[in-house]
Amino acid sequence: MRTELPVCKRCCFCLPLRYGLITWGYIRLGLSTFLFVAMSIAFYWMIEMVMNEESVTLNTSHAVILVVLLLLTIIDIVLNIVFLTGGHKKNMKMLRAYYIYSFILCTLTFLMWIASVVSTFLEFRIGEIDITFHLYIVLVDTATLLALVLAQIFVLLLVRSEIIKLRSQCEFRFVNNAAEAQCTLKCEQLNEEEGPEYTYERYEPEENK
């Protein structure tokens, strides 16, 4: 049985779709920028401690993870800027690029949740943590990452709905090669409730008038 994904007409059931997405984009950009600054400071302190104190050694795995997170945060900032530009200019290509990125991010978040749960179970089996702390970590990881996955899915639906809305505001041009006449079909969405209105304009060359 075939089912279609719902098309949202409003963001969070109260804001206009495009303005709600733009607001979400600015919030996301602010959070990503703050995270990038915080991780950059942490990385700088780590390097400074290793260089100035002989007793401190660099943890290679932690440094690699921090560098990867910094690179991912930079990518997130760039794509958020692309998303905001596409939202302001109603550019479908930019919105579609962010849509694909959000889908990949949602998949990676889900995989990260699985890896976190598996890692916690392995630590429990080798006896590094007790059962109470083990259950607490699993519940916190599950709740946090499930909320992130649901938020990403909701954003995916909103961006998809905005792309569909922009596609409905289009123009098609038909050319009759035999009679050399042209017909333009303009498709404009009037409001959220009514369907699109189609306007036909016929153009004929001066020699046929």
Predicted confidence (pLDDT) per residue in 138-147, tens digit: 777 778 777 8
Report if residue 151 sits inside a domain.
Answer: yes
Tell whether 114 and 159 lie within a shared domain. yes
Residues 52 and 80 in one domain: yes
Q: Which of 77-86, 109-118, 153-162, 177-186 has the highest mean pLDDT?
A: 77-86
> Which residues on adjacent β-strands are paired with residue 172?
185
How many C-beta atoms surround the C-beta of residue 57 within 10 A?
9
Contacts of 93 by beta carbon, 8 Å cutoff, 6+ apart = 86
The reply to whether 4 falls in a domain is no
Q: Per-residue pLDDT tens for 14-60?
A: 778 888 888 888 998 998 899 889 888 888 887 887 777 766 666 67
pLDDT band at 81; cut points 50, 70, 90: very high
Angle between helices 92-125 and 131-168 (to 10 degrees): 170
Query: Do 133 and 179 lie in a common domain?
Result: no
Kindly state whether residues 97 and 186 are assigned to the same domain. no
Q: Position of tokens 């699109």?
A: 196
Mean pLDDT of 111-127: 69
Task: Kindly report the pTM of this predicted structure.
Answer: 0.64
As a whole number of angstroms, the distance between CA 31 and CA 55 comes to: 35
Same domain, yes or no, for 101 and 179?
A: no
Residue 5 lies in a domain: no
Q: Are residues 103 and 36 in the same domain?
A: yes
Q: Say which amino acid occupies 132.
A: T
Contact 94, 86 (CB under 8 A): yes
Helix, strand, coil shares of the chain, percent, nearest 5, are: 65, 15, 20
Is residue 189 domain-resident?
yes
**Of residues 172 and 140, more confidently modeled:** 140
**91 and 193 housed in the same domain:** no
If asked whether residues 96 and 182 sit together in one domain, one would say no
Can you give the residue range of the structural domain that contains 64? Answer: 10-168
Task: Assess whether 164 and 191 both reside in one domain.
Answer: no
Task: Please determine, for residue 179, whether its predicted confidence score (pLDDT) is greater than 60.
Answer: no
Q: How far apart are CA 42 and CA 54, in angstroms?
A: 19
Together in a domain, 136 and 202: no
Q: What is d(CA 177, CA 180) in angstroms, rounded to the nearest whole number?
A: 5
Q: Using a pLDDT cut of 70, give the percent of the chain over it.
A: 64
Residues 129 and 197 in one domain: no
Query: Which tokens is 30 given?
Result: 């602010």
Is 35 exposed, middle or buried (CB count within 10 Å of its CB: 0-12, 13-18, 19+)?
Answer: middle
Higher pLDDT, 46 or 62: 46
Classify residue 3: in a domain, yes or no: no
Number of structural domains (the chain) is 2
